[in-house]
Structure formats: C-alpha cells, structure tokens
Amino acid sequence: MIMIPDERSTAQAALVEAARSLLRTHGDGNIHTVAAAVLDEHGRAHVGLNLYHFTGGPCAELVALAAARAAGARAPRLIVAVGDAGRGVLAPCGRDRQVLADHFPDIHVIVPSGEGTQVVHIGDLLPHTYWWQAQQLQRLRFRASHLPAVRDGSKRVTMRLRDPVQVGPALLVFEFDDEVSMPGRITSTVARSVDSITDDEAQEDGFTSAADVLHGLRDYYPELRASDEIVIVRFEVTDS
C-alpha cells in the first residue's frame, strides 16, 4: 500500500508510477504483463497484476480493485493500467469498463491521449451503457461521516455527478469498513450545472452558499468544472 499526496496532478503521476513499479518488479512478460493502480477515498494506492489465462484470467484493473477492497477501500476514485514492453498507460478493456460503470459509477480513469494521458469519467468511456445495477435495488452511497446526519434527518439532500439514480426505492449505504445500510427512497432528482445552483439548494446540502459548492464537490469529483451538470438528489429514510 502506498500513500499518495493530495495534489491532483501529483497524485495522477504517482498512481501511474505505482503501477509501473509493480510491473518492473513482478511482471514476467508472460502471465503477468499489465499492472494497475487504484486511488481510494483516503488517498491510498492499491496495486494489482493481471493473471493471463486462455480461459479469461482477470485483468489487472479487477485485481487492483479487489486488493483495494481487501485493504478497506470502499470508494475508489481513480484507476490506471500500464502495459509492459513499453506500451505505457492502457485504456481498460470493454469488460473492465462495464465493471467500473456498474460498481464504481463515480470513478475516473487515466487513459492515453496523444503523447500523454488524460483523466476521464467512466461514463465517458462507456456511453449509453447497459446499467446492470438498474436490475437491482439501487444504492445511494455516502461517506461514513454522513451517517449521523442522515439518521437524525438533518441531511436529506446530496449532489451527484453521473450517478444513475432515479426516483424510487433505494438502499442508503455508508462506507465503513463493514458497510452500514438502511432502507430509503429517492424522492426527486434535479439536474443543474454547478454554476447555476442557488444558495438555497446549496444550503440544503450543508454548504454555506452556492459559492462553496464547486470546491466542496471536488473532494468527491476532482475533475469537476463549474459548467458540469450535477444532479441534486433528495431522499428519505423509510421503514422498509
């Protein structure tokens, strides 16, 4: 496990280097040819190697995600894969894109771009995807620190970027080491660009004013821009 600094550009470079270092140390040019690194909600990096097999061995991204989970990570923020033999940063395969979209709809991915790399949201890598989660009870995830406010009713609004939630029953999930959940219902969803949010809407979600929203949400969505559209999600806790 490797500690990653808070600065976004530094964190991205360090994450790529974590994957490259693993590949240099443990890659074998045969079974293990790709390494991946995942940045979690605590600024930690978790790494994994692919395990090639003709039956469909796991990709490095999936191994790294599993390693992150085993280490207590609950909300991966950023992922990258690096190939051996000078291939550099690799875009995730189709299966990995579907897994990321289904299980981590807020995650960003470092992908090749021209002579360098860029960070993109998983939704941009898999547009018009089939949302497997839609066939299950939808989950509205929160950081563990929000549990008391949701329980006492003082928090009933959250703002989300590209989170495919809709009005209806939901499971409210809090990201402790052992997840805590409670039944709930999403009562409304309203799309707004960040720069059009009103002070009243901001205060509903605990911000002092609309001017604080962009900075506050970047803690969750590092690449968020003022012109990006987010969804204001109102919800309630239900008995069942």
Residues marked active site are found at 61
From CA 204, how far away is CA 215, in angstroms rounded?
16
Asked if residues 40 and 79 have their Cβ atoms less than 8 Å apart, the reply is no
Nearest to 57 by CA among 34, 25, 86, 28: 34
Rounded CA-CA distance 36/92 in Å is: 10
Burial class (CB in 10 A: 0-12, 13-18, 19+), 90: buried
How far apart, in whole angstroms, are the C-alpha atoms of residue 148 and residue 50?
40
CA dihedral (186, 206, 176, 123) positive or negative: positive
Which residue is associated with the tokens 């939630």? Answer: 165
Beta pairing partners, 49: 35
